[in-house]
Amino acid sequence: MRKKIVAGNWKMNTTVPQGVELAKEVVALSKDVKDCLLVVAPPFTHLAPVAEALKGSKVALAAQNCADHTSGAYTGEVAVDMIDSIGCTYCILGHSERRQYYGETDEKLVVKVKLALEKNIKPILCVGENLEEREAGKHFDVVTSQIKNVLYTLTAEEMKNIVVAYEPVWAIGTGKTATAEQAQEIHAAIRKCLADKFGAQVAEDTTILYGGSCKPSNAKELFAQKDIDGGLIGGAALKAADFIAIAQSY
Ligand code: 13P
Rounded distance from Cα 131 to ligand 1 centre (Å): 15
Ligand 1 pocket mutation, candidates 232, 238, 239, criterion most atoms within 8 A of CB: 232
Q: Which of 46, 95, 139, 187 is labelled catalytic?
A: 95
Ligand 1 pocket mutation, candidates 10, 11, 13, 91, criterion most atoms within 8 A of CB: 11
Beta bridge partners of 127: 166
Strand 37-41 and strand 5-9: pairing? Answer: parallel
pTM of the model: 0.98
Rounded distance from Cα 169 to ligand 1 centre (Å): 9
Q: Return the SS3 of 213.
A: coil
pLDDT digits over 109-143, tens only?
999 999 999 999 999 999 999 999 999 999 999 99
Query: Quick one: which of 40, 18, 29, 172 has its CA closest to 95?
Result: 172
Q: Which of 97, 129, 133, 167 is labelled catalytic?
A: 167
Rounded distance from Cα 203 to ligand 1 centre (Å): 24
**CA 52 → CA 1, 44, 89, 173, 222, distances in Å?**
30, 14, 14, 29, 32
Q: Is 187 a catalytic residue?
A: no
pLDDT digits over 4-62, tens only?
999 999 999 999 999 999 999 999 999 999 999 999 999 999 999 999 999 999 999 99
So what's the pLDDT on residue 175?
86
CA-derived radius of gyration, the chain: 17
Q: Is 167 a catalytic residue?
A: yes
For ligand 1, which residues put their CB under 6 angstroms from it? Answer: 9, 95, 167, 172-173, 211-214, 232-236
* Signed CA dihedral, 178, 235, 41, 104: sign only: positive
CA-closest residue to ligand 1 atom 2: 234
CA-closest residue to ligand 1 atom 1: 234
Report the phi/psi class of residue 67: left, alpha or beta, with left for phi > 0 and alpha for psi in -120 to 50. beta
pLDDT band, residue 177 (cuts 50/70/90): confident
CB 30 within 8 A of CB 38: yes
Instruction: For residues 153 and 108, give the distance between their C-alpha atoms in angstroms, rounded to a whole number.
Output: 12
So what's the pLDDT on residue 1?
83
Residue 122: enclosing H or E segment and its boundaries? strand 122-127
Rounded distance from Cα 208 to ligand 1 centre (Å): 15
Rounded distance from Cα 211 to ligand 1 centre (Å): 6
